[in-house]
Amino acid sequence: MVNHTLTSMTGFASHRNSIPGYSWAWEMRAVNAKGLDVRLRVPDWIDGLEQALKPLVTAAVGRGSVTVTLRLARDERDEAPVVRPERLEAMLAALSQIEEAALKAGVVLAPTTGGEILTMKSVLDTPEADDDQAALTRALLKDFQSVIGDFNAMRAAEGAALGTVLARQIDEIESLTAKATTAAEARRGTQAETLRANLARVLDAVEADPDRVAQELALLAVKSDITEELDRLAAHVQAARALIGATGPVGRKLDFLMQEFNREANTLCSKSGAADLTRIGLDLKAVIDQMREQVQNVE
């Protein structure tokens, strides 16, 4: 009995949390891909958050197309905005220059009220200190660990299900390989009789060099021998079982192994020379194709 330790490339996790002043929602999802592609959709005004998140994702995921989305909401604040004197002086000086230029050009401007000046964002300073954003960043990064935990738990569960399916398909390939071996053994006697009968007909009909005919028949026998293909199929079965019981990403190796399985099944069909052996070869190809589809989701 092989313990399945596969991890699926597909997965999803969502999480909500908050601290005083902020609330947020995480989403992390992944689909299969040839390599690792990480896409982060986070507010760009939080300095350093994206740079801190990416290593966490790449350390947790070996392969797949991963998208992380953060939706952040700021709570309504009761604190009154603070006027920054240096910005106010600069703004008043700029307004004075604009009014002088307007007078010289003969343009009359409406007087600017104090209320209008206070609506200018550069004059006001909302009481958001740097340590406020630093605390938010720390909380987000700590909370993201839970997201990764849930995400990997789902991928592990899906991987276990994949392992069960693949194990069953490997068993089926092994069973069909055994049937092909039995059919090939049964074919030996019939094949030899057929070759002798064909040889007799040829020798009766035409004059032929017996040595040359023997060489051609030997070549035909070699070309129709599927012993090596059956041996390689058996070896691939053992390799596949070892991979689904191994730790770490094995999806690429399994994908390559599927190509080898398919190559041997194709050769078996082309060399079968018997209807029952051809049917077994076609059944093998069908199972291998189903297995290859499942392997595409393995990390």
Q: Are residues 190 and 118 in the same domain?
A: no
pLDDT band for position 122 (50/70/90)?
low
In a domain, 107, yes or no: yes
Give me the residues paired with residue 72 across strands: 24
Q: Are residues 73 and 190 in the same domain?
A: no
The number of folded domains in the chain is 3
pLDDT one-digit tens code per residue, 50-92? 999 999 999 999 999 999 999 999 886 555 556 667 777 887 8
Q: Are residues 141 and 72 in the same domain?
A: yes
Full residue range of the structural domain in which residue 47 is found: 11-77+135-157
> Alpha carbon 13 to chain centroid distance?
15
pLDDT one-digit tens code per residue, 19-54? 999 999 999 999 999 999 999 999 988 989 999 999
In a domain, 52, yes or no: yes
